[in-house]
Structure 1
Amino acid sequence: MSAQPTALARRKRLWRISAAFAVLIGLAVYLVVQYVTGGPGAPRCTVQAEGAEGNTEAYEMTPEQAANAATISAVASSRGLPERAVTIAIATAMQESGLRNIDFGDRDSVGLFQQRPSQDWGTVKQIMDPVYSAGEFYRHLAKVPGYSRLPLTVAAQKVQRSGYPQAYAKHEANAARLTGALTGRDGAALTCTQSRPVDDQTGGGATVREKLVREFGPEVLPRTTGAGGRDAAGARSVTVPVRPAGPGTAGTTAQRGWELATWAMAHSADLRIEQISYAGRTWTAADSGKGWQKKPTGSDAAAGRSAGDVRIITAQ
C-alpha cells in the first residue's frame, strides 16, 4: 500500500526539480540577452535600408556595436577600399565577436576579428585596438585576388581561416545594410538614441579631432586650426570639410558627407557628442529619438558656415 504514494511523491518531486531547473535556465538566458543588448530601454542604433522589393528592412544593435562598425568602415575609407570590403569585414566581425571588442576567445583569440597573437596578427594590445585590427584584416583581404567578386564566405575565409567558414553567410544581409548606412549610400540610414547624459563620458572636441584623423586619415581635417583655421584647438565644435572620397571608391561628395556624419552619430556616446549637422539636417543627443531633423533655412549661412561641412558639437 505504501509503494504507490512513495512513487507518486517521487515523481512530483522530480517534476518540481525539473520545473525549477527550467526556470533557472530561462532566467540565465534572459540575463545573458540583457547583458549583450544593454537591457530594455537601453540606447539603441537602428539601420533602415530599402530591401530588394522596395520594402524597408531594419537591423538593430547597441551603440558599442555601431561604434565598432563605424571604425571598421572608416579604416576602409582611409585606405580607399570599396564598399564590398567593408561588408566582408563587418560580417566577419559580427560572426567572430558580435561586433564587440572582447579580450577573450578560442585559444588566444581576441578583439573584433578574434585575431591570434600566436598567428602573427600582432600583440594582444595591438589587436585590442579596433583601428589596428581592422587595418590588419584589410591588409590580408587586399592580398586575396578578386576578393570583391568572391562570395563573402570565401573572401572572409581566405583571411580568417575559420573552422566554420559558412557561418559568415548568415550575417551578409545585415552587414550590407549597415555598410550602406556607414558609407552614406542612398536608401540606407543609421539612427542612434541616447538614454543617458553624455556628460559622464570622456571625450570632447580635441578627442573627436584625434579620432577622426586616426580612423579616416590626416586628410580628413584641415592642417591648420585656431587663428586662420576652421576651429580653435580647444573648441567644443569640430568642422569637417566634405571632400570626395578617396581613390578606389565610387562615392559622391554627398555620400562622403553622410559617411562622416553617420560616423559621428555612431561614436556620439563615447565622444560626448551633443549635436551633428550636415546638409540641412541636425541630430541632437537630447532629442536623439527623433533622428535627423531639418534645420531652419539659412541657419548655416547666418553662422558663417558652409552647409556642405559636417559640424560636430561636443559637451562642455
Structure 2
Amino acid sequence: MRFRWFVALGLVAAGVLVATTLRDRTPLRSEFCVAEVGTVRAQVDLEQGQWSALMAAVAQRRGLSPRATTIAIATAFQESKIHNIDYGDRDSLGLFQQRPSQGWGSIEQVTDPLYAIGAFYDALVKVEGYGSMEITEAAQRVQRSAFPGAYAQHEDYARALASTLRGYSPAEFTCQINPTGGGSLTAVKRDVTAAFGAIEVTTNGDEAAYPLSGKSADVKARGWAIAHYLVGNASNLGISTVSFGNRQWDAADSDEGWTPRSGVDSDIVRVSTN
C-alpha cells in the first residue's frame, strides 16, 4: 500500500512539473519584419530589416533623399539579399558585394555594414542626376554590374521599406520576434548614435527618451524613422518596448505590431530594454 502511495505522489508531482513547464514555455514565433505601403507588403527576415533600417538612418543623417535609401536597399537586395555575407564573385563581399581590389576598402571595412553603406552613398552622390534616374540605372552607375537590369525587380519592396524606415509611412514597419532579454540602454544609445549621429537623449531607469523639435511634419517623420529603426534592431539589442505618438510596439506581443496606447506623446520616442 505504501508503495502505491509513493507512485501516486510521484505521478502527481510529475504532472505538476509538466503543466508548469508547458504553461511557462511560450511557443516560438516565426521571426520577420514587414513594411506595408499601399498594396505592397514587403516581408523580410530580421537581418534584412536591420540593415535596411541602417541604410535609412545613414541616409537621413547625411541629408539624402528617401529615393537614395530606395536605391541602396534595391541594390543590396540584388547583390546580397541584404545579408552581410563574407563571400561573393572573386573578392566581392558584404551587403553591396564591394570589392577591396576595386578600391572599396579593406576586407574588414566592406564587411562592416556601417562602412559599406557609407561607401555606397559616397559613390551614389557622385552620380549626377541620380535622384531623377530610374532606380536600376542609378544602382548600375554605382555597381557596374554584369546584370544591370536585375535591380528593377526589387523596386517595390525597396520603396516600401524606404518609405516606412524614413518615417513617411507611420507605424507601417514592424518586426515579429522572440524576445531574448539581456538588452542594455547603453548599447541602444550607442547604436542609435552610430546610425543617426548625435541626437538628444535622456535616460530614466530602463527607459531612454529621444525628444524631437522642429516643424510638426518633420518631427513626425524623424520620430517614426527612429521608432522604426529601434523596432528593426529590437531583436539584436534586446529592446522590449518602443513608443511614439499614440502607438506602442511590445516585444512580448510583437505579433500584434503597433498598437494604440493611451495619451499622446507626439514629440518623444521612448525605448526600454528587458
Q: Which TM-score tier does this pair reach, normalised by the shorter chain? A: 0.7 to 0.9
The residue aligned with 2:30 is: 42
1:173 corresponds to which of 141, 150, 156:
156
The residue aligned with 1:241 is: 211
The residue aligned with 1:32 is: none
The residue aligned with 1:217 is: 197
Report the Cα distance in structure 2 between the residues aligned to 1:48 and 1:280, rounded to whole angstroms.
19
Deviation track 1:135-175 (CA, whole Å, cap 9, x = no partner) reads 00000000011100011111111111111111001001110
The residue aligned with 1:114 is: 97
Q: Which has the larger radius of gyration?
A: 1
Deviation track 1:193-221 (CA, whole Å, cap 9, x = no partner) reads 11x2322x6x4100111111111111x23
Report the Cα distance in structure 2 between the residues aligned to 1:208 and 1:187, rounded to whole angstroms.
21
Identity %: 40
Contact 1:181 1:189 in 2 (8 A): yes
Alpha carbons of structure 1 residues 188 and 287: separation in structure 2 relative to 1, 3 Å: closer
Matched, 1:197 2:185: no
Residue 308 of structure 1, CA deviation:
1.4
Report the Cα distance in structure 1 between the residues aligned to 2:170 and 2:60, rounded to whole angstroms.
20
TM-score of the two chains, using structure 2 as the length reference = 0.85
1:74 corresponds to which of 57, 60, 64:
57
Contact 1:279 1:308 in 2 (8 A): yes
Alignment of 1:118-137 (within 5 A): 118-137=101-120
Q: Flag structure 2 segments of 5+ consecutive residues without an equivalent.
A: 1-27
Matched, 1:295 2:225: no
Deviation track 1:277-312 (CA, whole Å, cap 9, x = no partner) reads 1101111000111111111236xxxxxxx5411000
Report the Cα distance in structure 1 between the residues aligned to 2:166 and 2:214, rounded to whole angstroms.
12
Report the Cα distance in structure 1 between the residues aligned to 2:214 and 2:80, rounded to whole angstroms.
32
Report the Cα distance in structure 2 between the residues aligned to 1:42 and 1:125, rounded to whole angstroms.
32
1:61 corresponds to which of 44, 62, 68:
44
Amino acid in the other structure paired with 1:119: Q
2:165 corresponds to which of 160, 179, 182:
182
Residue 41 of structure 1, CA deviation:
4.6
Residue 252 of structure 1, CA deviation:
2.0
Contact 1:49 1:177 in 2 (8 A): yes
Q: Which runs of 4+ in 1 moved over 4 A?
A: none
Matched, 1:154 2:128: no
Amino acid in the other structure paired with 2:203: D
The residue aligned with 1:308 is: 267
Amino acid in the other structure paired with 1:43: E
Alignment of 1:12-27 (within 5 A): none
Report the Cα distance in structure 2 between the residues aligned to 1:47 and 1:212, rounded to whole angstroms.
20
Q: Flag structure 1 segments of 5+ consecutive residues without an equivalent.
A: 1-39, 51-55, 223-229, 246-250, 299-305
Amino acid in the other structure paired with 1:295: R
Contact 2:85 2:95 in 1 (8 A): yes
Contact 1:153 1:168 in 2 (8 A): yes
SS at match of 2:263: coil
Report the Cα distance in structure 2 between the residues aligned to 1:272 and 1:256, rounded to whole angstroms.
22
SS at match of 1:75: helix
Amino acid in the other structure paired with 1:287: D
Matched, 1:261 2:234: no
Report the Cα distance in structure 2 between the residues aligned to 1:188 and 1:221, rounded to whole angstroms.
22
Range that drifts further, 170-179 or 184-193: 184-193
